[in-house]
Amino acid sequence: MCGIFAYTGKKGKDAGGVLLDGLLSLEYRGYDSAGIYTPESGSVRTPGAVAELRKKIPKGFKGKSGIAHLRWATHGEPTEKNAHPHSDCEGEVWVVHNGIIENFKELKEKLIKKGHTFTSDSDTEVLAHLVEEHLKKEKSFEKAALAALNEVNGTYGIALQYKKEPDRIIAARMGSPIVLGLGDGEHFIASDPSPILPHTKKVVFLEDGEVAVISPDGHRIFKLDSTKVKRDATNIDWSAEATQKGGHEHFMLKEIMEGPEVIENTLRGRLIIEKGLAKLGGLESVAKQLEKIERVIVVACGTAYYAGLVGEYMLEEYAGIPVEVELGSEFRYRKSVINEKTVVLGISQSGETADTLEALREGKRRGALTLGIVNTVGSTIARETDAGVYNHAGPEISVASTKAFLSQLTALALFTMFFGRQRGMSEATGREIAKALKELPEKLQQILDTKESIQKLAKKYSKARDFLYIGRKYNYPIAYEGAIKLKEISYVHAEGCGAGEMKHGPIAMIDENFPTMAIAPKDSMYEKMVSNIHEIKARKGPVIAIATKGDKEIAKLADDVLYVPETLEMLSPILNVVPLQLFAYYFAKEKGLNVDRPRNLAKSVTVE
Ligand code: G6P
C-alpha cells in the first residue's frame, strides 16, 4: 500500500537519488504509480514502476531535499495526474499522502469557490490547496499546515513541503504510519523504516494526531493542538542487507529459505525446556490478568488469519481455553459478547493492517484485554495493544507472506505453552512441546533441501487452471493457506477446503484436469485423509500428497508425494505449509510472473 519517503540534508547528497533508492525499498508494499518532488527541480510523476519514474527524470534534476511517493489507487485511476506529489495552484505547497481524506468533497467545493483550481481526482490534492489557503493568513508554513490538518477528517500519513522553505518538511500521522529517521546533518520521513535504514538506524515513530517538522539539523514533534511531544528515538537493528534478496532470485524464495533461522529467532530466549515453560517477556505485565481469562478472540486478516485458525486448535487442545478466530474486517460489526475476562489477540505481520487494528480497538473499547503477535517493531498494533509478543522474523518484503506465517505459528505455540502452563498443562507436556519446537529448524531445513523436486513438480502441474487443497484439524487452515499462496502469486484458481467438507460441494469439480493437494501427515486424521484421497482418485482427480517421511502406503495412492519429517501434531502445520509455499513460488515463477509483487495486492493494507 502507498509509501512515503522524504529527505532533507546538508551533506551535499543528491536528494533525487536518495529518494528514488528509498522508493525502491518501499516497492514491496504494492503500488501502481510513483512520483517525486524537489524544490529546486519540481515534480516528476508516472503511472507504473519506480524504474519508469527514473527514466522520466530529466538530466540536471537536482535538490537538497524532497518528497517522494508510491501510490496505490483509492480515489481516481492510477494515472500521471493522480500520482503524488500533489500541489497547490502556484506549485509551491507539495504533499504526499497515504490514507483517505474523508471530507475532501466538502473541502474541495469550498476551495473551488475561493478560486482554487484542481488538476486531479485525488482526495490528497485538497490538502495542498488548504495549506495554500491558510498561508494567506498565516505567514508561517508550519502554522498553515497545522491549521489545514485540523480541518481534515479521515486517515493520513503525510509529508508536506513548501518551495519557499526548502529545508523543512512537515510530517503528520492519523491512522497511517509515519516514522522519522534521525541522521547526522540529514533527516528522513517514511511510512516504514526500510528506506531509512541504509542511512541511519535511529528512528522515532509518530503517534496518531502528531505532527513533526524535520530539517537537516533536527526534528520537533507536537500534537495537532500545538502541545510539544518528547519522544526518545528507537534503534532498529534490521541491517540494510537484510532487506535485500541475499542472492536469491526473488524475495519470496529468500524468505522461505530463511524459515529455520526465523523459527530460531522467534524461540530465542523464550523456552525453558527442562521446566516445560515458555518465557514471554512481553506478557509479563499482564500475566496475573491472563490467569483469569475465560475466552480468547483472535482477530487477523489474510495469512495471519489462517495462523489464528491453527492457534485455535492449539490453545483449545493444550490450554483448554475457548478460542474464536474472526476476520478483522468482520469482528467490529459483530455484537460479540466481550468482557474483561476476554482477550482479543491481534495477529499481524505489518502491525498496520487497518481491519485488524480497528478490530483490536473495538475489543479495547468493549473492555477486553488486547494482545498482539506482531512482526514489525514499533508498528501501530504493537504500540496500541496492552501487551504482546514480537515475531522477530525480520523484514518481510515479498507481498505473499511466508516466513512471517511460520513465526506466527511458532509464537502461537509459545502462547499455548504460556496459557497452558497457567491452566494445568503438565510439565511433561510442556517439555514435549518445547523439545519439538527446538527440533523444528533442523527438520524444516530437510524440506528446504528438497526444493528442486518441488520445482519439478510445479513444472509438471504448471498447465492446471484449478487446484483444490484439503486438510483436516491442525492442517485444515493449512489447506486454505496453501491455496491463497498459489492464487495470489499465480492468478490460478485454488480453493482451500476442510477435507470433510469436500463431499458437500467441492468434489463436484474434480476431474482429471483438477488436481488436489492433500495434506495427509501420519497423525490422528490420517485414516480420514486417506479416505478422502480415495474419493478423489475414484473421480480421476490427480493427487499430490504432503505426507510424513517413510509413509510408503500413500505413495501407492497419490500421483505425487512431497515428504515432510514427523513432528508433534500441533506443530505439523509449521512444516507442512513449506512445501506448499515452495510449490506456489515455483509455479508462479514457471509462468514468468512477478512473484514478489503480484497484481492488485498490497503488502500492508492500511485502508479498511
Ligand atoms: C495483505 C498481505 C497478506 C497478509 C495480510 C495481513 O493482504 O498481502 O500477505 O497476510 O495483508 O497482513 P498483516 O500485516 O496484518 O499480517
User: Which residues carry out catalysis?
Assistant: 2, 603
For residues 608 and 513, membership in a common domain is answered with yes
Asked whether residue 608 carries a pLDDT value surpassing 80, the answer given is: no
Distance of CA 605 from the midpoint of ligand 1 (Å): 7
- Within 8 A by CB and 6+ apart from 530, the residues are 520, 553, 554, 557
Protein residue with least CA distance to atom 8, ligand 1:
603
Task: Taking residues 143-168, report their average pLDDT.
Answer: 95
Distance of CA 359 from the midpoint of ligand 1 (Å): 15
Question: What atom of ligand 1 comes closest to residue 376's alpha carbon?
Answer: 14
Residue where a domain stops, chosen among 216, 242, 268 = 242
For residues 509 and 421, membership in a common domain is answered with no
For residues 222 and 116, membership in a common domain is answered with yes
Q: 574-585 pLDDT, tens per residue?
A: 999 999 999 999
Q: 303-352 pLDDT, tens per residue?
A: 999 999 999 999 999 999 999 999 999 998 888 889 999 999 999 999 99
For residues 490 and 544, membership in a common domain is answered with yes
Q: 210-253 pLDDT, tens per residue?
A: 999 999 999 999 999 999 999 999 988 766 555 566 668 899 99
Distance of CA 185 from the midpoint of ligand 1 (Å): 36
For residues 336 and 440, membership in a common domain is answered with yes
The reported pLDDT for the residue numbered 241 is 57
Chain mean pLDDT for the chain: 94
Residues 54 and 35: their CA atoms lie apart, in Å, by 10
CB 498 within 8 A of CB 470: yes
Best probe residue, ligand 1, of 299, 350, 375 (max atoms within 8 Å of C-beta): 350
The reported pLDDT for the residue numbered 373 is 98
Asked whether residue 1 carries a pLDDT value surpassing 70, the answer given is: no
For residues 303 and 331, membership in a common domain is answered with yes
Cell of 195: 528506506
Report the half-sphere exposure of 218 (CA within 13 A, side-chain side): 2
For residues 536 and 573, membership in a common domain is answered with yes
Q: 75-95 pLDDT, tens per residue?
A: 777 899 999 999 999 999 999
Q: For residue 48, report the phi and psi dihedrals to the nearest 5 degrees.
A: 95, -155
What is the four-CA torsion angle of 361, 367, 369, 371, rounded to 10 degrees? -10
Helix (H, G, I), strand (E, B) or coil at 581: helix
For residues 145 and 60, membership in a common domain is answered with yes
Query: For residue 256, what is the domain's CATH number?
Result: 3.40.50.10490
Query: For residue 213, what is the domain's CATH number?
Result: 3.60.20.10
For residues 159 and 79, membership in a common domain is answered with yes
Number of structural domains (the chain) is 3
Asked whether residue 454 carries a pLDDT value surpassing 70, the answer given is: yes
Residues within 6 Å of ligand 1 by CB = 301-304, 348-350, 353, 356, 399-401, 601, 603-605
For residues 326 and 464, membership in a common domain is answered with no
Residue where a domain stops, chosen among 173, 207, 242 = 242
For residues 59 and 22, membership in a common domain is answered with yes
Residues 473 and 481: their CA atoms lie apart, in Å, by 14
Distance of CA 362 from the midpoint of ligand 1 (Å): 20
Residues 415 and 319: their CA atoms lie apart, in Å, by 9
Residue where a domain stops, chosen among 242, 277, 312 = 242
For residues 458 and 401, membership in a common domain is answered with no
- Within 8 A by CB and 6+ apart from 179, the residues are 189, 190, 191, 192, 193, 196, 203, 204, 205, 206, 378
Residue 397 belongs to domain spanning? 245-444
Residues 189 and 213: their CA atoms lie apart, in Å, by 10
